[in-house]
Amino acid sequence: MARALLANPQLPELNGVEQQRTLQELTRTQRRLSEQLKATRSAQQELASQSHVREVLQRVIDTLVSEVKTLVTCRKEKVTDVASWI
């Protein structure tokens, strides 16, 4: 990596290790929550329509949807920040 930077001075310095970690964390967490959302929706569909548990699962689904959207927004902002360095 250092050789590539020395050979190509036009490349930006690599001070983005922390930003890369943040992007990885955001991506992994988004994927985990998306998988949990899918599983929770599936569990809800398996329940009887009059089950009180459906209401609880719906609140969980609503929360997961909201948090996945938040993670997507954060990830897009972080990508934009990283792209501005290049």
Q: What is residue 86's predicted lDDT score, i.e. its pLDDT? A: 60
Q: How far is CA 81 from CA 47, 49, 69, in A?
A: 44, 46, 18
The model's pLDDT over 10-57, given as tens digits with 9 standing for 90+, comes to 655 555 678 888 999 999 999 999 999 999 999 999 999 899 999 999
The Cα 39–Cα 61 span in angstroms is 10
Which of 60, 53, 24 minimizes the C-alpha distance to 39?
60
- In this predicted structure, the answer to whether residue 5 has a pLDDT above a threshold of 60 is no
CA distance 68 to 80: 18
Domain boundaries, the chain: 17-78
How far apart (Å, rounded) are the C-alpha atoms in residues 2 and 41? 47
